[in-house]
Amino acid sequence: MLKTLPAQIATVTRNRGGRRDLRLVARFFFVLALMITVYSVAFHLLMQREGQEHTWLTGFYWTLTVMSTLGFGDITFHSDAGRLFSIVVLLSGMIFLLVLLPFTFIEFFYAPWMSAQAEARAPRQLPSETHGHVLLTNHDALSSALIRRLEQYHYRYALMVSEVEEALRLHDLGLNVVVGDLEDPDTWSRVRVGEAAMIVSTASDVTNTNVAFTARGLAKDVPIITSASDEASVDILTLAGSSFVLRLEQMIGQSFSRRTVGGDAMSHVIGEFDDLLIAEATAHRTPLVGKTLGESRLREKVGVTVVGVWERGRFAPARPETLIHDNTVLVLASSKEQLFRYDELFCIYNVSGAPVVILGGGRVGRATAEALERREVDYRIVEVRPEMIRDPEKYVHGSAADLATLEKAGIREAPTVIITPHQDDLNVYLTIYCRQLRPDIQILSRATHERNVATLHRAGADSVLSYASMGASVVMNLLKRSKILMVAEGLYLFEVRVPADLMGRTIAESSIRERTDCSVVAIRTARGIEVVPNPSAALPADGHIVLIGSAEAEERFLEIYGKSGTE
C-alpha cells in the first residue's frame, strides 16, 4: 500500500471532495500535534512544582506513553493535580489515538485503497491502446457462450456492467468487465467504441435500442448486433442503428424444421461459402437407410459429397463404412446444381401425413410451426396457457406432461416431437417422458444453456439446439473471424493455404480426412473456386483449400500441418 500512497494522494487531490478530505486529515494531525506539545509543556511545569526534574524529551515520551494507553511506571506524579492531569491526558489519548486515529486511517487511507483495488478489478475505462475488441452489454447464457468462443479465438472483449458490485462478482468469475452507464455517451468513449470490432447487446428490446442509438452516435462504422424478443422491435432497432438484429427464436424454429424427419427428404441449406453450399438432409424413409456411405454412391449419382452425419446430435465425419440409420441427418457439400439433382432424386421420399407434435406455444414453438408450415408439414402445438392459443385446429390445450393431452395431439403416430420451453429442467423431464412413450420417435429439444445439451442427449433427445450456442455462432460468423464459418453447432468451414507437405499431392493421397477428420470441400486458386473437387485433384502450391469439420478436427489439422497456413 505504501507504494501506491503517492498515486493515491495525487488521485485524491484531483477532485473537490478529495481536497476537502485532505484538509480534514491535516487539521486532525495538527490538533493532535498541538495537544501533544501542550501536554508535554504542562508535564514539565507540574513536575517542576513537585520538585522533579526531567528533560523536554522525557515530557514528550511520557505524553505519548499515557495517550497511547501503554501505561507508565517509571515516571509518575505524586500530587493530586498531577494525577488529575494524567487522567485528562489518558482520556483525550483514548479518544484521539484509539478512536479518531483508526477512523481517520480507515476513512482516508484504507477505504480509498480498497476502492482503488476495486477500481482495478472493475475499471471504468479501457487502456488507450485497446482496439479490435468486442463490447458486450449483458451477461446471459448467450454472452457466456460468446465469451468462450472469443477467448478460444483470442479476441479481446469487455463486458459492460452498470453496477460496481455486479462487476466485481463477474470479475471474480474470470470475466473482463468495465463499469459504466450504457446510456451515457462518456461510458462508450471510455471503452473506445470507435476502435471496437463489434458491439453485441442481448438485453431487453428497450435497452438494446438505447445501446444501438447511443453507440451509433459515436461510432458510425462499428457493427452493432442486437437481439429482439418482439418482431415489432426489429424495425425500431434497425432505425436506432443496429447493423443486425438477432431473432434467435426464428433461427431455432428453422433449424428444428430442417431436422424434422416428417414431410420430405429434401436438402436444406445451412451455410454458404462463395459458390459452395452446405446442406442438411434427413435419411428417414429413404433407400439410403441401412446402407453405408460408400454403398450410397451419392457422389457418383448426383455429385454431392457427404462430409459428415448427425447422430443423436453428435457430428461424425463421413467414412465409407459409416452406416446410415433412420434418424441420420446427412451433411452435404455441393454446388447449387448438385443440390438440385439430389432433391430431384429424394423429394418423393419421407412423405408423412401424421402431424409433428410441438410442446410449447411460446416464441420458439410458434416459429417452429411457421417454418414447418412453409415446408407444408402438418403440426399440433400443445399449450397449457389458454391465452397463447392462436388456432384451435392447430393447438391442443393442456399440459405436455398429461398423457391424454399428448395422445389428443397425436403423439402415438407423430414422426417427431419438438420440445420448445425455455426451462431446461422441464425439457429434460419432457424428453424422458416422450422417449418412454415412443422409443422410436424423433425427439428434438431446445436448450437455453450450453451446459445442459449433454444432459438432454442422455435423456433421449436425438438433436438438441442450444439457444446460447446458436446465438454465439451467428455473432462469430458476423464477426468474420478469418476465413471461418460456423454452419451449425460445433461444425465449421475454414480456409487455409495448402500446407507445404501437401503441395502437388492429390486429395486422396493427402489422407486429410483419415488423419484429421476434416473434409476438403473446395479448392481456391487464382482462376476461381472449385466446389467439391474430385479426390484425384491435385492440391496446388499457390492455392487454398476449404475444409469442414468439428472444432476438434480443426485443431487436429492445425496441429499436424501447422498454423502458418491459416489466414
Here the CATH number for the domain that contains residue 316 is 3.30.70.1450
pLDDT in tens, 243-276: 999 988 888 898 888 878 766 678 888 777 778 8
Asked if 464 and 552 sit in the same domain, the reply is no
Q: Within this chain, do residues 301 and 338 fall inside the same structural domain, yes or no?
A: yes
pLDDT digits (tens, 9 = 90+) for 316-363: 888 889 999 887 889 898 888 999 999 888 877 766 678 999 999 999
Residue 129 lies in a domain: no
Please, what's the largest Cα pairwise distance for the chain?
123
242 near 226, Cβ under 8 Å?
Answer: yes
Task: Please report the pLDDT score of residue 20 as a whole number.
Answer: 66
Band (pLDDT 50/70/90 cuts) for residue 314 is: confident
CA 106 – CA 482 distance, rounded (Å): 52
The answer to whether residues 367 and 412 belong to one domain is: yes
To the nearest whole number, what is the mean pLDDT of the chain?
84
Residue 380 CA to residue 44 CA, distance in Å, equals: 100
Strands of 415-489, DSSP E: 416-419, 442-447, 463-466, 484-488
Interacting residues of 350 by C-beta distance below 8 A, sequence separation 6+: 261, 262, 263, 264, 265, 282, 284, 285, 286
Looking at residue 504, what is its pLDDT?
87
Measure the CA–CA gap between 155 and 393, rounded to whole angstroms.
50
Check whether residue 87 and residue 24 sit in a common domain: yes
Q: Are the CB atoms for 380 and 410 separated by under 8 Å?
A: yes
Instruction: Please report whether residue 143 resides in a domain.
Output: yes
Q: Where are the beta strands (DSSP E) in 94-174?
A: 134-136, 157-161
Identity of the amino acid at 213: F
Query: CA nearest 202: which of 114, 260, 143?
Result: 143
Q: Which stretches does DSSP call E strand in 258-323? A: 268-273, 276-282, 305-311, 314-317
> For residue 477, is it within any domain?
no
Q: What is the 3-state secondary structure (H, E, C) of 30-61?
A: HHHHHHHHHHHHHHHHHHHHCCCCCCHHHHHH
Domain that holds residue 379: 356-469
Q: What pLDDT is recorded for position 566?
A: 44
The pLDDT value recorded for residue 230 is: 87
Same domain? 336 vs 417: no
The C-alpha atoms of residue 338 and residue 332 are separated, in whole angstroms, by: 10
Quick check: is 128 in a domain? Answer: no
Residues 150 and 219 in one domain: yes
Q: What is the CATH number of the domain that holds 110?
A: 1.10.287.70
**Mean pLDDT along residues 375-384:** 91
Total of domains in the chain? 5
Same domain, 9 and 116: yes
Domain end (from 313, 346, 379): 346
Rounded CA-CA distance 418/464 in Å is: 10
Please tell me whether residues 328 and 308 are part of one structural domain.
yes
Lowest mean pLDDT among 271-280, 366-375, 386-395, 452-461: 271-280
Judge contact between 330 and 302, C-beta under 8 A: no
Would strands 484-488 and 528-531 be described as parallel, antiparallel, or unpaired?
unpaired
pLDDT of residue 91: 84
Q: What is the CA radius of gyration of the chain?
A: 36
Are 9 and 103 in a shared domain?
A: yes
Question: Is pLDDT larger for residue 535 or for residue 382?
Answer: 382
Residue type present at position 150? L
Give the per-residue pLDDT at 1.
43
Query: Within a domain: residue 254?
Result: no
Residue 483 lies in a domain: no
375 has pLDDT over 70: yes
Q: Is 502 found in the same domain as 391?
A: no
User: Residue 71's pLDDT is what?
Assistant: 67
> What size, in residues, is the chain?
567
Q: State how far the Cα of 545 lies from the Cα of 205, in Å rounded to an integer.
A: 41
Other beta carbons less than 10 A from residue 309's beta carbon: 22
Q: Which of 4-18, 154-168, 183-197, 523-537 has the lowest mean pLDDT?
A: 4-18
pLDDT (tens digit, 9 = 90+) per residue, 192-232? 999 999 999 999 999 999 999 999 999 999 999 999 988 88
> Of 97, 121, 145, which residue constitutes the final position of a domain?
121
Among the candidates 346, 378, 409, a domain finishes at 346
109 and 6 in a common domain: yes
Asked if residue 478 belongs to a domain, the reply is: no
Same domain assignment for residues 201 and 271: no
Which residues face 316 on adjacent strands?
309
* Number of Cα atoms under 13 Å in the Cβ half of residue 356: 33
Asked if residue 380 lies in contact with residue 365, where contact means CB atoms within 8 angstroms, the answer is no
Residue 313 lies in a domain: yes
**CA gap 488, 550 in Å, rounded:** 10
Task: Using pLDDT thresholds of 50, 70 and 90, give the confidence band for residue 564.
Answer: very low
CATH number at residue 382: 3.40.50.720
Which of 134-143, 259-268, 283-292, 533-542 ranks highest by mean pLDDT? 134-143
- Which has more confidence, 466 or 105? 466
